[in-house]
Amino acid sequence: AEGWDADSYAGWGKRAAEACQDLVDQLELPVTADEFHAQCQPLLHESFKTARIMPGIQRLVEHLKAQNVPLAIVSSSSRSSYELKQGDCPAKRSIFQKVECVVCAEDVVEGKPSPEGYLKAAKSLGIEPGHCLVIEDSLNGVQAAKRAGMRCTAVPTLAKSEAKYEEAGADEVLHTTLDFKPERWGLAGFSDLVAGTVPRLPPLRIAGEVVRGFG
């Protein structure tokens, strides 16, 4: 859209109503935030069903569960949108099923960058905020985690935005979750590394006739 600047958009990571208001304000749209949300919601719901898992998330979740690390999700999505994002993919659903606590938009009075959601999740897990590590992809989420007194690893939504995440207080900024090193946070490291390198996930298998030494 004309006037759209993803880098300056303030709504990343916020609840739908607040994110829509930010967009309406930025683009000076001739509609209210509620009207804009009503128009976008059907399209969003369709896209949620096919939303992809961030690279490395399944590997990380399975590794942490094997170490008996409690897991929570603090989402700015509504509960219904959260359910849609799970889709019908068994791999995606298996990830969500490993989470002990889920806090969605309607579970808090104030959404991100308020720390309310993260504090509620920590209380539900019975863990002090200072002992929690958050993995976030939005600036508002990073701010929420730090205001909650938690440590935070950022995996930015936007490219070349590392400096903004550092300014927001992120303890580290990664290009992908595949770069995450559990041992930095006192956790057991991954056991699937090959010569110190993350293996391709899923593995690439090639079959066929060998011609001149090449498969």
* DSSP string over 22-36: HHHHHHT-SS-HHHH
The two structure tokens encoding residue 42: 């059907």
As a whole number, the mean pLDDT across the chain is: 88
Provide mean pLDDT across the span 29-47: 88
In sequence order, which residues have a C-beta less than 8 Å from that of residue 144 and are 6 or more positions away? 13, 74, 112, 113, 114, 115, 117, 118, 136
Q: By percentage, how much of the chain surpasses pLDDT 90? A: 55
* Residue 183 CB neighbour total at 10 angstroms: 9
Confidence tier at 213 by pLDDT (50, 70, 90): low
The two structure tokens encoding residue 194: 């090959």
112: pLDDT strictly greater than 90: yes
Cα separation values, 126 from 100, 101, 114, 119, 129, Å = 11, 11, 20, 10, 9
Higher pLDDT, 111 or 203: 111
> What is the rounded CA–CA span in Å between residue 140 and residue 88?
29
Confidence tier at 206 by pLDDT (50, 70, 90): low
